[in-house]
Structures are given as C-alpha cells and as structure tokens.
Amino acid sequence: MSAAMNLGKVGVLFGGRSAEREVSLMSGTGVLKALRDKGIDAHAFDPGQRSLAELAAEKFDRVFIALHGRYGEDGSIQGALEQLGIPYTGPGVMASAIAMDKVMSKRVWLSHGLPTPRFVVLDAKAASPEELRAIPDQLGLPLMLKAPHEGSTIGIAKVNGHSEMQEGFELCARYDEAILAEEFISGRELTVPVLGTGRAARALPIVEIRAPQGNYDYEHKYFSDDTQYLCPAPLDAALTARIQDIAVKAFNALGCVGWARVDFMLRASDDEPFLLEINTSPGMTGHSLVPMSAKAAGMNYEDLCVEILRSARLDLTPSESWKPGLQS
C-alpha cells in the first residue's frame, strides 16, 4: 500500500477522439481497474470529452496514457503533458510522433541498418493512375497499402492484382494524406513487447499471431475468438534472441522509453524478420498482446500496469540557464 501511495494521484487517459476510441475505452477501463485493485488512487479522464484546462485542474501526479491513435499516440497529448508538467507513461513527444508515422519509422530504421519491407510513398490527393499502375511492378504482388498515421489495422488494404490498386488506394485515402505502399512479406506475424528505457530496455516473450486466412483485421484483433496466439512463439532460441534484439534496437532507434510493442513479419522462405511498425501505446484489452506476453514472462496484468505506471516521466527537461523574461 505504501508503494501505491508513493505514486500519488494518477490519471488514466482513455477514450479520446481518434478512430481507435472504442479500443481505447476498453484498454483504459482495464488499466483503471487494475491500478485501483493495487490500491492506487487512480481516476478516469477522457480527453475526448474534457478539456486540457480540466486536466490541469485535476492536479494528477502522473498519468497512464491508454489512448490509441491520433491525439493520444502521436505526440499531441505528450506535448500537452510536458507543458503541464505531468509525468506520463510511454515515449515522449518526438519518439511518439515518429513512431506514429510508419514512413518515418521505416526511414529511421533503415538508417540504423534494421530490416523493413521495401516501400513507396504516394500522395493521397495527387497520385496519378500511371503512378498507381507502376507500384505493383516496383514492389511485386501482392502488396500492402496503408494509411501511415493510423493503427489497429484501420486504413489498410491488401492488393493482389493491378486491378485492385485503385480501390485499395481510395480506401486508404479516406484516412490519410499520404499512402504507404509496402512490399508484402509472406510468412508468420509476430509481435514483441519492450519494457524499460535505454540500456535497461528488455524484450518480453514473442507472440505469434495466427488469424483465419491470415486476416488479422480489426474484428479479429479485438473481438473475435478465432485468432490463435502462441506465446512464447515456437521459434528456436537463436532466432528468438535475434528478433528480440532487433525489437529493442528498433525501440531505442526511435528514442522510445517506458514501453511499446514492435510488430514483425517473419519471411517464410528464409526466416528473415522484417519490422512493420511500433506501437507506443499498445492495447491493454482482454485480447491484447502485451498482457499476454507479460503473463508468459510471469507478470500478471495488474503488476504490468503498475510497472508501466512507475516508468512515467517527463521527456523534455528545461535548460537550467533558461529563465522567464530573459533572452540569450
């Protein structure tokens, strides 16, 4: 109980205004209950329904971010919390913004020599029919089209032939101004939670996802019981260690802290892993993968929530030489 009291008054931010609001409500409800069950003075706060002025008035000592998608996972709420001086869970402003952008994430990973599928970026408003027809020749078929600033498989389309490019492009264009066209990696879908910061960051057990017909869509991700999850994933020790090492490197390359979940495809032809994306405020629902992985590592849901909460921090430290009203 004393440890719980040391964490002070805690806000659990969930709901929000993104396309993932429904999932965030489920995540936040679970986190709120878990923290209260551990004796923590935790309170719900929905930024989709309440203002930043109200957030400041609550005088939280720290907050657990259980928001998903835009405004919660893209650096927006992180910047507001920095201004308010409220420590928060997960990566800071810059890391959150980069991680939310699948294109920028891939560019950073490539600069660090980390593997990710080949890709082309298209302008959602200006891409010509000729550009669209050329993409399958560049990346091969099938290929993936993605809205690079969305999550939870929202704004994503698999293109199996040239004739499907336009329809897939139009679907993704509903959600974003840029479209990520990505090489399709045929193989096994894996995810690796990472906890900690810097050299202390550690990968949890790998989860393998086996969805019906390989279709791990929104329904199969959050609501269906048809998807199979294997944790720890049935991989040999050397390959497991390699994938976990890449996950931690990908996490650190983007400047992530606290926690995140790194998604991979493992190519069937040669067992080569490819980074797809990183989630800096992963789901914490009954179907979510971070709690599943933590359980395989011997950590229950409540203890996981407390460990994440303990990592709450401010990312931006003001310069000691800066003083209000003074100019350099």
The dihedral of CA 95, 98, 102, 106: what is its sign? Answer: negative
Distance from C-alpha of 326 to C-alpha of 328, rounded to nearest angstrom: 7
Looking at residue 180, the DSSP 8-state letter turns out to be E
Q: Mention every residue, 6+ apart, whose C-beta is less than 8 A from residue 228.
A: 209, 210, 211
- Of 150, 222, 293, 311, the catalytic one is 222
- Of 11, 20, 196, 208, the catalytic one is 20
Looking at residue 88, the DSSP 8-state letter turns out to be B
- Of 101, 263, 302, 315, the catalytic one is 263
Contact 281, 305 (CB under 8 A): no
- Of 24, 283, 293, 302, the catalytic one is 283
- Of 101, 150, 182, 277, the catalytic one is 277
DSSP 284-311: -STT-HHHHHHHHTT--HHHHHHHHHHT
Contact 258, 286 (CB under 8 A): no
Q: Mention every residue, 6+ apart, whose C-beta is less than 8 A from residue 223.
A: 287
Active site residue 222: yes
Distance from C-alpha of 265 to C-alpha of 242, rounded to nearest angstrom: 13
Active site residue 261: yes
Active site residue 279: yes
- Of 152, 281, 288, 311, the catalytic one is 152
Give the three-state DSSP class for 220.
helix
Active site residue 164: no
Active site residue 152: yes
**Joined tokens for residue 165:** 């490019």
Active site residue 92: no
Preceding amide of 324 cis, omega within 30 = no
- Of 279, 281, 288, 293, the catalytic one is 279
- Of 92, 261, 293, 301, the catalytic one is 261
CB-count exposure of residue 100 (10 Å: 0-12, 13-18, 19+):
buried
Residue 142 neighbours by CB distance under 10 Å: 14
Active site residue 72: no
Q: Which residues are catalytic?
A: 20, 152, 222, 261, 263, 277, 279, 283
